[in-house]
Amino acid sequence: MLTGLPPRDHGIVGNGWYFRDTAEIRFWQQHNGLIQGEKFYEGVETAKMFWWFNQAAPVRWSCTPKPHYGCDGSKAFDVLDFTDCKLTDQLGPFPFFAFWGPGAGLASSQWIARATAAVMRKQKPQLSMVYLPHLDYDYQRFPDHDPQRVAEVDACAGEVIDAAEDIGAQVVVVSEYGLVPVNKAVMINQHLRRAGMLSVRNGPFGEMLMPGESRAFAVVDHQLAHIYVNDRSVLDEVRKLLESIDGIASVVPPGDLQLDHPRSGELIALSDPDAWFAYYYWLEDSQAPDFARCVDIHRKPGYDPCELFITSKARAGLRLAQKKMGMRYKMDVIPLDPSLVRGSHGLRPAAEDGPMILGPGSPPDQMTGLKNYVHQLLA
């Protein structure tokens, strides 16, 4: 969407990937420098509101979520606000717990919409970009897609559209994917472990994946998984193993999907349409790492939609009480039950389920055309 390039050129091969030079799996990085290729907002006076890869982006104004981290492991939620609008003074603190986690819901999209409208009216950017996350939540929690969620996010979009009309701006609506119902989780790393491909280290905080010491492992992202094969002598063995797993539709070289970038795995696994990939690599829940039961998006070596669910509100209340009393605690309230997840994405979808662009003139039907389309509108 940003560059007009396929992932083999822009390098964003998923929401996270394996960094071979440090033997680390990192998800949800925000630095703009990770995107290779010119973005459509470069050279344009832009306000970039909660779009990802926002940190150090070449834009005039921006706002993005960014907690503060204490040396004792504590965390204080906040945003990076470079809008010159003092957004938290105007709107109150950003509702971080409504942005991701068991409490994710409408409040975060409402805050982002109001913040964007305020920036547009004050700064009058040539280009404004706003991400409203609301449809991501319940459409992963439940198989039935309640149109009320669409009505709710439409009201948020209305606040931005009103601001656009006030400053004489044209409106383009984009959706990068559509979530589809799923009913099966594929434990791809558990299969690799049983085959002797994946290495772990046991310790006081549970089993930790050792990607650098593994012969092969998977970095999962919804319905797609990158398979990194450190020992190339077992490449064919790994491929045959994956092809035999129930719930995996195909195993292909990354070039077949325009994913042949150095950040990609040696193989790409695609799930069945009604399945998705869970990152779990432990074989017994008692050996799960401590972060598995927490909302911990940066430590998990794969995307975990179970973070949208909660084991017990009473347990969460107890943990919050411990925090307020200054006691050591961990917010271990996330269930280890992938069967709860009922929506996912990542496969090439049917037209009615996939990405879309709504706007003036003749919007492109492919996301790679968005860059030129935006430039035409700006001209």
Distance CA 289, CA 304 (A): 14
C-alpha angle 222-224-252 in degrees, rounded to nearest 5: 170
pLDDT 10s digits, 188-224: 999 999 999 999 999 999 999 999 999 999 999 999 9
Task: Please identify which residue in the block is written with the tokens 């129930």.
Answer: 246
Tokens representing 138 are 């319940």
39 Cβ contact list (under 8 Å, min separation 6)? 2, 3, 32, 57, 58, 371
DSSP 169: -
pLDDT 10s digits, 305-364: 999 999 977 666 666 666 666 666 676 899 999 999 999 999 988 877 788 999 999 999
- Write down the CATH superfamily of domain 184-344: Domain 2, Phosphonoacetate Hydrolase (3.30.1360.110)
**The pTM is what?**
0.95
Tokens representing 194 are 């049983």
* Dihedral sign (CA 38, 40, 43, 47): negative
- Residue span(s) of the chain under CATH 3.30.1360.110 come to 184-344
Per-residue pLDDT of the chain (379 residues; tens, 9 = 90+): 999 999 999 999 999 999 999 999 999 999 999 999 999 999 999 999 999 999 999 999 999 999 999 887 778 999 999 999 999 999 999 999 999 999 999 999 999 999 999 999 999 999 999 999 999 999 999 999 999 999 999 999 999 999 999 999 999 999 989 899 999 999 999 999 999 999 999 999 999 999 999 999 999 999 999 999 999 999 999 999 999 999 999 999 999 999 999 999 999 999 999 999 999 999 999 999 999 999 999 999 999 999 999 997 766 666 666 666 666 667 689 999 999 999 999 998 887 778 899 999 999 989 999 999 999 999 9
Whether the Cβ atoms of residue 215 and residue 235 lie closer than 8 Å to each other: no
